[in-house]
Amino acid sequence: MNGPKIVFVGAGSVVFTQGLLSDLLGHEELKHARISLHDIDPERLEVASAVAHRIAAARGAAPVITATLDRREALDGADFVINMIQVGGHKATVTDFEIPARYGLRQTIADTIGVGGVFRALRTFPVLDALAADMNAVCPDALLLNYTNPMAMNVWYLSGKVRNVVGLCHSVYWTMHDLAALVGVPYEEVSYVAGGVNHQAWVLRFERGGENLYDRLDALVDRDPELRRRVRIEMYRRLGRYPTETSEHSAEYLPWMLRHDGEIDRLRIPVGEYVRVSEENTREYERTRAAVRGGIELELAGTDEYAPQIIHSIVTGTPRVVYGNVVNDGLISNLPAGCVVEVPCAVDATGVMPTRIGALPPQLAALNRAYVSVNELTVRAALEGRPDYVRHAMMVDPNTSASLSLDAIWRLCDDLTAAHGDLLPEALR
């Protein structure tokens, strides 16, 4: 029995591949799936393949597992493509932190907007071009499930190049999971709606039955001064809706936090956090590699990620609601048409169907529009070959514009362009 063909592009992100495969092969209907693993790093691909075979055995599954360095070969006849590449790896991440830091520009994660997000996008776009060309040649009807950041920029860029793309992020799910625990209500009993842009969406409704659970959150915030020392709580208190991304992420999408030493201390903002995360990811891969080569048993923890749920729903017709990043075709009425927004999506055998949210509260839409402006200028810089748009993106970016002069922005972009070199689109080098 042949199951759907599921391709992992960037399968060398072994720990993430491991979690997704554990979920996928835990579904009875997907135990005979055809799993195709692709990466450009032979060693990482070898480890990913060994991990995949171990997971299949542990799950009692019988998938057909292949691994190849040839992307088009991997994609041939695919039904689903999961993209999780990181162009430039840890070295490029360090560059995105170290060079801006010389100018006094602080970042925490640097993968969404800001100078780090913009240059991560610019070095990813050429690979997305090649991925789209291969998909259009050998699997034009496949659903592309993108995990690669910067999510909104990448999905926006891909939306004109492939037929079916949805961006997936776990921030809404884990925000609601943790909020439910904070207010003392089982997650399964909570109903909620969120909407906005990736890493800056908003919890618009938070209820159990007829109870507004924001009332419980307000009471907690009022009596706990330590809880108020979080960026996202500060945003909630000032803006009226809870943001769906962590405090360390959220801080660098705003102009009010990272330029002030006092705010960094008060709100406990971990400057440079993602360099430490990236180093730990490398160590985790090395531990997994050692376990594979040493015959040590691997943990098979589930992830609750959306890609396995979407694939299962489309294959079986099981209805679900997930949160997806999709083109704004009237989904959020006070954000620009054509940008990429994060909204609830119904999924069943017919595919992924986004839900219309309507208008966001105006203060939330105003913040999102600043974020969207950075996205638009970055995408257009690549599509139109306009290096000046890269600088303009930095001029309107909240944290960068609050921290640097125009001359410093220009020189910083020059330095990062030189540092990333051939990874960037040729017209922008």
Residues known to be catalytic = 170
Helices (H) and strands (E) in the chain, counts: 17, 13
Helix or strand or coil: residue 165? strand
Structure tokens of 251? 């801080």
**Is residue 390 a contact partner of residue 428, using CB atoms and an 8 Å limit?**
yes
**Is residue 355 a contact partner of residue 346, using CB atoms and an 8 Å limit?**
yes
Between helix 214-223 and helix 171-183 the angle, nearest 10°, is 70
Q: Residue 202 region, left (φ>0) first, then alpha (ψ -120 to 50), else beta?
A: beta
Q: How many CB atoms lie within 10 A of CB 2?
A: 8
Given the structure tokens 């776009």, which residue do they identify? 125
Q: How many CB atoms lie within 10 A of CB 374?
A: 29
Given the structure tokens 């599954």, which residue do they identify? 61
* CA angle (106, 108, 111) in 5-degree steps: 110
Q: How far is CA 111 from the centre of its chain?
A: 9
CA distance 150 to 173: 18
Helix or strand or coil: residue 128? helix
Burial bucket for residue 137 (CB in 10 Å: 0-12, 13-18, 19+)? exposed
CA distance 400 to 103: 10
